[in-house]
Structure 1
């Protein structure tokens, strides 16, 4: 009789080999899940923890890469392991893509913030998309002497307040404005009281200290200084517009998020990244608020700046 051979042992060996080959993917998936869940326990030495906090939304890019590696390795165990960082990322950041709970409805006032970029050859062109979007208030950072000019811009925004390199352009009267010390050694923030048709609105425009790799102390100190000023402000309705040089996921942002809400998180969709403008990877530009209800929030790409603009709409 002829003996019939089967390839079951060979298949079993191949399966075990595939699982062994997928072990590296499993380990990487577990490490990525731990990093997502525990990034805030990383010591903030030389800004390392702050950097990882700010980049945490981007860590989700590792999930499809690991899934692809698991498929190439033909490892079921690795594919299952990839679910760990996928679930962790979804719990932490997936809500940014869900429909907003407060968005929609009538909008009473529209605000925008734009870092113009020092040396911008045509700041008026940079602001044109914001004007066309119907912004009532525009907070500006890195404003060169004289401010932006464009046909009809000054007519549409007849009321202005400026301190150093920050400015507020408004369709409505500005009853009062003053510089705000953020501990930088020179004034790079302002507070203005805008008399809107629905009542007074306090608006801060701020450009906080820069953050460099391994050196975030200046930015951190200026953020805490701004938070102290906002905490002491008794205004019922308040908006902060500006380039704050960090993301809301950064642990050092907590002093502000304890006091104010984030319009993008409450009425926008997605992360709303703004920098660098061609391919944004983070969101240093913000619209924060209290005493209002956000109806819209978004990002506009504008020419001649390295930042995209942030926008939001509110109702009383």
Structure 2
């Protein structure tokens, strides 16, 4: 028996497992594409569908992982298959990196929203970068001591309204403010009318119910109730600022996106992730609007909070 007769079966045996590994990668690529394209079809049992909706932007990270695996396995068909989820993800999200389609030009009013984090040892230090950025309105959530902050912000923001753990500071007079019931059993939202030089602006400062793995019912109900309040509000120019505890890609967010536009989507670049502050992977913090034209939208890292702040500029 010759050496070639011994070697041939060995080479064939080594080749077949390689083919099977390539097939597994093909199947994984097809599965990833299917999940991306059909995530809304996954039942929202115990918040699973909601969690998947929120995570879909991150699923794009699976594309380079699969591509690298295909290269290491030297599998052409696997590499070709990876193009499918890559194309689906690009169709869904590549547009967020394109130049904003919203109006440009100087902003008539600039706003910011920040979840301070309960127990923040230096809330004034967290808010300071927002004041230094020159925003006109600052919406805050998880405020432990509004009176202390009022003393720190009085020079730049002489007007403020607060209820429970949410508050609004303004350079312009606040003509009216009241708490908004979002079904939590305690008031964690307010509605204020700000008298800006361009006219009245209605501002909601909101901290919706928390969502936990396997338990999003409270958060979902607060989204529905907030949407009802916005729907019945007759204000022409309106902002919703705050920590809504869900991403705009979440199906639960739909009642709000039917009524309001998202400043980040219209005037920002990228996903604008805000949480956790150190390595943000989702965006629970939002600037939603109607009756205005956004000119800018951005995210700002601030000290001593587990959320980054969101900012936006608007013109009438």
TM-score class, shorter: over 0.9
Equivalent-residue separation in structure 1 for 2:241 and 2:146 (angstroms): 21
Is the contact between residue 19 and residue 77 of structure 1 (CA under 8 Å) also seen in structure 2?
no
Q: What secondary structure, in the 3-state scheme, does the structure 2 residue paired with 1:296 have?
A: strand
Is the contact between residue 239 and residue 288 of structure 2 (CA under 8 Å) also seen in structure 1?
yes
Equivalent-residue separation in structure 1 for 2:60 and 2:165 (angstroms): 36
Is the contact between residue 204 and residue 240 of structure 1 (CA under 8 Å) also seen in structure 2?
yes
Which shows bigger deviation, 94-103 or 306-315?
Answer: 94-103
Q: Does 1:292 align with 2:292?
A: yes
Q: Does 1:115 align with 2:115?
A: yes
Aligned-residue RMSD, C-alpha: 1.9
Q: Name 1:71's counterpart in structure 2.
A: 71
Q: Name 2:143's counterpart in structure 1.
A: 143
Equivalent-residue separation in structure 2 for 1:56 and 1:252 (angstroms): 14
Q: Name 1:4's counterpart in structure 2.
A: none
Structure-1-length-normalised TM-score? 0.94
Residue 289 of structure 1 deviates from its aligned partner by 0.1
Structure-2-length-normalised TM-score? 0.94
Residue 93 of structure 1 deviates from its aligned partner by 1.1
Residue 187 of structure 1 deviates from its aligned partner by 0.4
Is the contact between residue 247 and residue 282 of structure 1 (CA under 8 Å) also seen in structure 2?
yes
Is the contact between residue 146 and residue 167 of structure 2 (CA under 8 Å) also seen in structure 1?
no
Cα distance per residue 1:78-122 (max 9 Å; x no partner): 000000110111111111111101152111000000000111000
Which shows bigger deviation, 229-238 or 137-146?
Answer: 137-146
Is the contact between residue 180 and residue 188 of structure 1 (CA under 8 Å) also seen in structure 2?
yes
Equivalent-residue separation in structure 2 for 1:150 and 1:165 (angstroms): 14
Q: Does 1:92 align with 2:88?
A: no
Residue 147 of structure 1 deviates from its aligned partner by 4.3
Q: Name 2:80's counterpart in structure 1.
A: 80
Equivalent-residue separation in structure 2 for 1:173 and 1:11 (angstroms): 81
Cα distance per residue 1:184-226 (max 9 Å; x no partner): 0000000000000000000000000000110000000011000
Q: Name 1:301's counterpart in structure 2.
A: 301
Equivalent-residue separation in structure 2 for 1:70 and 1:129 (angstroms): 45
Q: Name 1:227's counterpart in structure 2.
A: 227
Cα distance per residue 1:268-316 (max 9 Å; x no partner): 0000000000000100000000000000001000000000000000000
Q: Does 1:196 align with 2:206?
A: no
Is the contact between residue 19 and residue 78 of structure 1 (CA under 8 Å) also seen in structure 2?
no
Q: What secondary structure, in the 3-state scheme, does the structure 2 residue paired with 1:289 have?
A: strand
Q: Name 2:55's counterpart in structure 1.
A: 55
Query: What pairs with 1:123-134 in structure 2 (closer than 5 Å)?
Result: 123-134=123-134
Equivalent-residue separation in structure 1 for 2:15 and 2:57 (angstroms): 34
Equivalent-residue separation in structure 1 for 2:210 and 2:297 (angstroms): 25
Is the contact between residue 146 and residue 162 of structure 2 (CA under 8 Å) also seen in structure 1?
no
Is the contact between residue 103 and residue 268 of structure 1 (CA under 8 Å) also seen in structure 2?
no
Cα distance per residue 1:6-55 (max 9 Å; x no partner): x9x99999877644331111010000000000000000000000000000
Query: What pairs with 1:228-307 in structure 2 (closer than 5 Å)?
Result: 228-307=228-307
Is the contact between residue 277 and residue 306 of structure 1 (CA under 8 Å) also seen in structure 2?
yes
Structure 2 unmatched ranges of 5 or more: 1-6
Q: Name 2:27's counterpart in structure 1.
A: 27
Equivalent-residue separation in structure 2 for 1:75 and 1:137 (angstroms): 55
Equivalent-residue separation in structure 1 for 2:148 and 2:79 (angstroms): 54
Equivalent-residue separation in structure 2 for 1:22 and 1:200 (angstroms): 62
